[in-house]
A and B are shown apart, each in its own frame.
Chain A
Amino acid sequence: GENVEQHPSTLSVQEGDSAVIKCTYSDSASNYFPWYKQELGKRPQLIIDIRSNVGEKKDQRIAVTLNKTAKHFSLHITETQPEDSAVYFCAAIRAGYSTLTFGKGTMLLVSP
């Protein structure tokens, strides 16, 4: 089955800095890669996703890049703000399937 590794497990940045979270996946048949943000005590919420037919997607301060050859994808947050502090999860779905395989999560702390 699919295996998703996520790094780092914790990330501390100063407000205004950029943050990058990286994930690798094992199944070359995976073709959908969502990112979820989970604030303390809240539900995971989809913030951005990418499909394997594109290499990059941006939405304001967040962007995701995908390298299918290397089987890794990354989340980039620019101009970080304290409200970006949360746990971020990457995930992957194999083509033709519905079940997500999640990474272990990255706790991002943005200090004012």
Chain B
Amino acid sequence: DAGVIQSPRHEVTEMGQEVTLRCKPISGHNSLFWYRQTMMRGLELLIYFNNNVPIDDSGMPEDRFSAKMPNASFSTLKIQPSEPRDSAVYFCASSPGTVEYEQYFGPGTRLTVT
């Protein structure tokens, strides 16, 4: 298995532009998570999907952030408009179980907003 796949690996954009991050979970996993990692705040859970349905989006910073999971093999995280404080590494992770299961992380997308 290729593991969790994320694209792009690096993204540099200007403030105000729309950014779309993509994730393909491990086949057969039914839970998907989006995290943001910064030096100041560590690893933060943004949103969690189970069977393609958003279960917990309490970590989404504000309305500029949105996430979708149209099918079991694809999810997107969109930031519109982007701001310099959104600069971070964004990780997608998937899990085989519904509860209390190990999570497998993708390689991450390093986002820089200038």
A100–B42 alpha-carbon span in the complex (Å): 13
Whether B100 lies near A97 (C-beta < 8 A) is yes
B95 CB to nearest A CB, Å: 7
B103 CB to nearest A CB, Å: 6
Is B43 engaged at the interface, CB distance under 8 Å to the other chain?
A: yes
B54 CB to nearest A CB, Å: 12
A49–B99 alpha-carbon span in the complex (Å): 15
**Chain B positions 92 through 110: 1 when the CB is less than 8 Å from some CB of chain A, otherwise 0:** 0001011111111111100
Say which size band chain A's interface belongs to. 20 to 34
Is B19 engaged at the interface, CB distance under 8 Å to the other chain?
A: no
A46–B26 alpha-carbon span in the complex (Å): 15
User: Which residue among B31, B45, B102, B104 has the maximum number of chain A CB atoms within 10 Å of its CB?
Assistant: B102
**Contact A45 B99, CB 8 Å, known A98-B31, A99-B56:** no
- The number of residue pairs between A and B whose CB atoms lie closer than 8 Å in the complex comes to 52
The A44-90 residues at the B interface (CB cut-off 8 A) are 44-46, 49, 51, 89
Say which size band chain B's interface belongs to. 20 to 34
A45–B3 alpha-carbon span in the complex (Å): 12
Is B75 engaged at the interface, CB distance under 8 Å to the other chain?
A: no
Whether B43 lies near A102 (C-beta < 8 A) is yes
Whether A44 lies near B91 (C-beta < 8 A) is yes
B15 CB to nearest A CB, Å: 25
A100-B103, A105-B43 given. 12 additional CB < 8 A pairs?
A34-B102, A34-B103, A43-B107, A44-B43, A45-B105, A97-B99, A98-B50, A98-B95, A98-B98, A99-B48, A100-B33, A104-B42
